[in-house]
Homo-oligomer: A and B are copies of this chain.
Amino acid sequence: MSSAKERVQAVKQHLSPEQERAIAVSPVESMKAERAKAAFNIRDMTYLLDGGKSATETRERMMLELERDLVFRMYDFHDLTKDELRERTMEKVRIGSENFRNLLNHLTNESVNTFRKRMEVVSLIDPGFWTRFGVHYGLFFGALQGSATPGQFSHWASKGAVSLNGMIGCFAMTEMGHGSNVAGVETTATFDEASDQFVIHTPTITATKWWIGGAAHTATHAVVFAQLIVGGKRYGVKSFVVPLRDPTDYSLLPGINIGDIGKKMGRDGIDNGYITFTNVRIPRGYMLMKHTKVSRTGQVKEPKLQQLTYGALLQGRVAMVVDSGNVAKKALTIAIRYAAVRRQFATKANEGIETKLLDYPIHQRRLMPLLAQAFAMHFTGTEMNTMYLQLMDRLESAGPDDDDLPEVLENLKETHATSAGLKAFCTWNCLNTIEQCRQACGGHGYSAYTGLAGMYQDFAVQCTWEGDNTILTLQAGRYLISSYREAQEGKKLAAGVSYLNRLNELIGKKCSVSKVEDVATLDVIAEAWDVVCANVVQHAGKEFEECIKSGMEIDEAYEQCSQSRLYAAKLHSYGYLFKRFADGICKTPEELRKILLPVCLLYGLYTVEDNAGAFLQYEYFSPEQISYIRTKVNELCKTVRDQAIPLVDSFNYSDYIINSPLGRKDGNVYEHYFNQVKQQNPPREHPYFDRLIKPFIHRKQDEDDLDDEEEEGGLESEDEDDE
């Protein structure tokens, strides 16, 4: 077998035509040829995507630091059992926590923002670690920050909640019987005035705290969500810090029972557990009382501003939009690089040289729209993040009696609804992208080592956690209906839904281009989305109003038109993604804009084609225009394909981050793949020959009576066929 290197070296010698052909089709040479097509400065595109040169350099430093850290080694990752993975993950948590502590103690020069970036990079290689680490610093610590009084926060900080010295936290919200409906959790926290304690109790099997990350092996304390009961009266779900284990030996405290949830689809590095509480007593002060307070004498004081707790939800959703873009970029880097070097089927025209997958129109159709979508998610995620930070800044300084509070809350409501829909559709899109990329790698996509299978398994949870996607789409749809109704009453809506203020102009509007080719412009596509969204939202709004007229309660009416809500939220979210992408490239320097323009057009027209039913039903586009759009999407796939390798290169993920032989930058896919398979599966003794195979295939002959029916010598008798 000749290596790629040997083949390339052979160029310098005298070559036969067959040898020359072998070089032309070698994966490494194929990749070089693709890279040489770059019509733009790849480095500049990376700076644009990262938010500047310095951000890129920081990220590169982080990738290198992780790559060299043996605890973060990834080559053996796919072969770790659940138990090994959990132990490895705990090692990472220890190191990650030290970084975090150093950061807060100003032992490093890293800013909190840079630390977040570091976590974003880590999440790309090991989302299980990212989650396990996030259980303490994101969820437990976040709950303290959001719901503890300053005094309580200091108390838990003094116990080690910041440094993880003496305690580690987990977050016990979900129960076996209640996930999405947090208000319905059954665990009770009953105030016992005599002892000045709360009694935490699990009353039924379905009240068992379930899926609690870090509970099985890691946490000493939990923030527990439970029904507050004072003087026999229920006050709704509040949060309480409950000690779980003795930190000195990790024995369970009285009344606490914790079990391991065991094997999951993915993210097995997290030690999810279940917890039951049997009349567990905690001091009154362990209830987090920033909002609701319970006094020594059992007086309950409820907060004025429940809405402010939305902030944490919002942060999670924005992070998932960003993550969807990042993970999609990683999956696409693998599938597109592989397609640039994988060859299959020769045509006569090409003298027996097999065709690159990327040159097949159908393969372009499979991957280029997804590449365009990853850019759309990238630009949207970036803008959402900026919006989120601005909003949090305003909220931070807002007091309960501020004059602009209604406006701030209105903005919060809009961002909250928009982010709900985007979280849902972006995580669905990303999951679909991973699977499409896996299938685009053919059989090799099924190997664990090529990375896409594990990526799917790890990512899949994003569609159901932190708000089940379907429920989130319905929330977004509900907001659209209520915005529609407010607009009907003359209210001026926020920017994201302002098209609902222009229904008179938009309903019934048809595409008015003089030449069919003109549909392929950003302005026409943006208008097309506005018109279609206006129609579907109006349709949902009217359906809702019919339900109300027929005598239904509001909630029942919303349930009744849930399919229309979902459909409205879907089209609204797709239109929103397109518009953020289009906005984003308008701000881009000319050299890069000319490259991104066809990518953006492809995204816009592909999503129009994919939802052609709506555009035809509301007659914005004619059948002829839709037919043209189908052809134009083919053409744009070909255009984007031309720059596909430079574009995925601009994502700038190192080979370590990609962690897939099929996605290696040098294109030498087969050698890397073979080496990894050999390294991870070295020759060893047959594991069960003596026990299972030997006694089986060497049974006594007379046990079988069929094999002897025919005489030996059948092979020789073939010679009679000689001519």
Contacts and interface: CB of A to CB of B under 8 A. Distances in A.
The 3 A-B pairs with the shortest beta carbon distances in the complex, nearest first, are A612-B613, A285-B715, A151-B714
A418 interface: no
Contacts of A151: 713-718
A588 interface: no
Interface in A257-279: 259-266, 274, 276
A163 B706 CA distance: 7
A256 to B, nearest CB: 13
B449 A365 contact: no
A263 B673 CA distance: 13
Interface string A348-361: 11000010000011
A166 interface: yes
Given A158-B710, A715-B285, A697 B78 contact: no
Contact of A617 (B211, B445, B626): B626
A322 B574 CA distance: 36
Interface stretch (A9-17, A457-465, A517-525): A457-465
A556 B217 contact: no
A291 to B, nearest CB: 12
Given A181-B354, A264-B447, 10 more contacts: A151-B713, A151-B717, A165-B704, A177-B670, A250-B689, A260-B681, A263-B680, A296-B719, A439-B463, A439-B464
Interface in A658-713: 670-671, 673-674, 677-678, 680-681, 683, 686-689, 692-693, 696-699, 701, 703-713
A307 interface: no
28 contacts: A152-B718, A154-B711, A158-B711, A158-B712, A159-B707, A162-B704, A165-B704, A166-B698, A177-B343, A180-B344, A184-B345, A247-B697, A247-B698, A259-B678, A261-B677, A263-B448, A263-B680, A264-B447, A265-B457, A283-B715, A295-B719, A299-B722, A362-B474, A439-B470, A442-B464, A457-B457, A612-B614, A613-B615
A262 B438 CA distance: 18
A607 to B, nearest CB: 12
A205 B101 contact: no
B262 A155 contact: no
B263 A696 contact: no
A573 to B, nearest CB: 16
Nearest to A220: B697
A714 B101 contact: no
Q: Sort chain A's interface into a size bin.
A: 35 or more
A176 interface: yes
Contacts of A344: 178-181, 184
A157 B204 contact: no
A386 B615 CA distance: 42
Contacts of A262: 78-79, 447-449, 677, 680-681
Contacts of A91: 692
Contacts of A618: 623
B697 A168 contact: yes
Contacts of A689: 217, 249-250
A164 B707 CA distance: 9
A443 B710 CA distance: 59
Given A87-B687, A155-B715, A553-B347, A165 B703 contact: yes
A562 B360 contact: yes
Interface in A574-591: none
Contacts of A112: none
A289 interface: yes
Interface string A438-456: 1100110111110001001
A184 B346 contact: yes
Nearest to A465: B443
A468 interface: yes
Nearest to A202: B1
Contacts of A634: 563
A250 B680 contact: no
A170 to B, nearest CB: 14
A469 interface: yes
Contact of A176 (B555, B673, B699): B673
A118 interface: no
A249 B248 CA distance: 53
Nearest to A152: B714
A718 B442 contact: no
A643 interface: no
A54 interface: no
Contacts of A250: 686, 689, 693
A24 interface: no
A681 B210 CA distance: 14
A163 B210 CA distance: 50
A445 B435 CA distance: 18
Contacts of A709: 154, 157
A560 interface: yes
A1 B710 contact: no
Interface string A81-119: 111001100110010010001001100000000000000
Given A613-B626, A623-B619, A448 B264 contact: yes
B274 A677 contact: yes
Contacts of A699: 165
A151 B464 CA distance: 59
Contact of A349 (B3, B180, B361, B553): B553
Contact of A295 (B346, B681, B693, B722): B722
Nearest to A293: B721
A357 to B, nearest CB: 10
A167 interface: yes
